[in-house]
Amino acid sequence: GCHFDPNQNLTFARVLRNEGYQTAIAGKWQINDFRLQPKVLAEHGFNEWCMWTGYETGNPPSAERYWDPYIHTNDGSRTYEGQFGPDIYTDFLIDFMERNQNSPMLLYFPMCLTHAPFVPTPDEPNASGNEDCFKAMVRYTDKLVGRLVQALEQLGIRERTYVFFTTDNGTAGSITGRLNGRKVRGGKGKLTENGIREPFIVSCPGKIPAGSSTEALTDFTDLFPTFLDLAGAEAPEGWTIDGHSLADVLHGTATRSPRDWVLSMGGGEATFDGERVIPEKGFADRAICGERYKIIYTDNGTTSLFNLERDPGEEYNLLDNPPDEAAQALEKFEAVARSFPERDAAPRYKPNPRQEWDLSLKR
């Protein structure tokens, strides 16, 4: 079973709670089994939680995150009949803000929306089909974010609260959207731009100029050090934090991040030998992106070179005949790629002990 070990993994919530922040999490967390570790979120740094459990083997109600959701809180896990999960998660966070408005707070909301299964929402109960339901779920996401921002305003703390809105991957491949008049199929799990270039919006009226934007390179690993920087906190002794703080970029005092490139790695199947997780593909495909150019690099070397500024749809591979500027980017990125180990890591992993509900599963 999944086991995100708090003894081996440091979270920004743990650091900020130790700095005096009141911390809460709501939504989706699929890296611990709450049946075995009902209070594990406290070990990860959260004072309170309201989470869909993720599917628990042998417990069919736990499959539900939207209608009649199965939710784990500080008081345990149960089904909330007749209710819509995203409303429950949002209500919980607003209540937490109201109770802790006079303290520094960290709220982490890994939303269940807009992930499959695609379902009707309370505002559009007659939506049907994946695409119509997906659109309804996007609109409901917007509504819930609006409720959270409105709560901050009503509490009088909006001007000094940083709100980060982003996502971990592209839209599901079964969904086709539109961007600037062209159709764009979802790219989740792919190294194309619709899979790895994601929305990243940050708002703090008292600190960040409204309507500003940046081309600075950013990566998910930059969030942890950014949160610590904004809170005036430091990582505990003995821990090394990946990434770079984006605080100067957010505040408009820098136009570039400390990065020259960003790495995105493809996925794949893996096996577990009882001690290590071993990728079946020894060297995963990867994208290395700069501010303008991007290469796709595999165990056979570079396969693609794109000018993202002129060709965001990645239709024209420049690899065989790159212009001078592109050739320079290619040389730089290939040097980066050659610096990686010849084989990807096979990390040690200690799974949860086998449980009675696992006995029917093939291993």
Residue 126's alpha-carbon distances to 119, 123, 219, 271, 293, in angstroms, are: 10, 9, 38, 43, 44
Residue 363 has pLDDT above 50, yes or no: no
pLDDT at 356 over 90: no
pLDDT on residue 275: 87
Residue 279: strand pairing partners: 270
pLDDT, tens digit, 9 for 90 and up, residues 32-56: 999 999 999 999 999 999 999 999 9
The reported pLDDT for the residue numbered 76 is 96
Given a contact cutoff of 8 angstroms between Cβ atoms, the answer to whether 33 and 1 are in contact is: yes
At which residue do the structure tokens 């305003």 appear? Answer: 153
Rounded distance, CA 31 to CA 351, Å?
11
The pLDDT tens digits for 111-127 are: 999 999 999 999 999 99
Question: Which structure tokens are listed for 236?
Answer: 């505990």
Token pair for 174: 């079964």
Give the per-residue pLDDT at 77: 97
Query: Percent of the chain, pLDDT > 90?
Result: 79
Q: Dihedral sign for Cα 136, 142, 145, 146, please.
A: negative
Class of domain 262-338: alpha beta
Return mean pLDDT, the chain: 93
pLDDT tens profile 145-175:
999 999 999 999 999 999 999 998 888 888 8
pLDDT given at position 179 = 76
Is the predicted pLDDT of residue 361 greater than 80, yes or no? no
pTM recorded for the entire structure: 0.93
Position 268 scores a pLDDT of 82
The more confident residue out of 86 and 179 is 86
Place of tokens 């005092």: 253
Lowest mean per-residue pLDDT among 70-84, 147-161, 165-179, 294-308: 165-179
One-letter amino acid identity for 150? Answer: Q
What is the per-residue pLDDT across 230-282, written as a single tens digit (0 to 9) for each?
999 999 999 999 999 999 999 999 999 999 999 999 888 899 888 888 988 88
Rounded to whole angstroms, how far apart are CA atoms 290 and 309?
A: 11
Burial class (CB in 10 A: 0-12, 13-18, 19+), 200: middle
For residue 2, pLDDT over 90 is answered with: no
Given strand 76-79, what is the order of strands in its sheet? 76-79, 70-73, 48-52, 22-28, 105-108
Contacts 24+ apart (CB under 8 A), 357-362: 357/56, 357/57, 357/58, 357/59, 358/1, 358/57, 358/58, 360/58, 361/57
Give residue limits of the domains in the chain.
12-250, 262-338
Q: 163-218, pLDDT tens digit by residue?
A: 999 998 888 888 888 877 888 888 898 999 999 999 999 999 989 988 999 999 99
d(CA 114, CA 66): 10
Q: Which amino acid, 237?
A: E
Residue spans of alpha helices (H) in 31-102: 40-43, 85-99
Pairing of strands 301-307, 277-279: unpaired
**CATH match of 12-250 with 3.10.20.30:** no
pLDDT at residue 26 greater than cutoff 90: yes
- Is pLDDT at 328 greater than 70 in this prediction? yes
| Residue among 201, 216, 214, 194 at smallest CA distance from 290 | 216
Answer yes or no: are the C-beta atoms of 223 and 12 closer than 8 Å.
Answer: yes
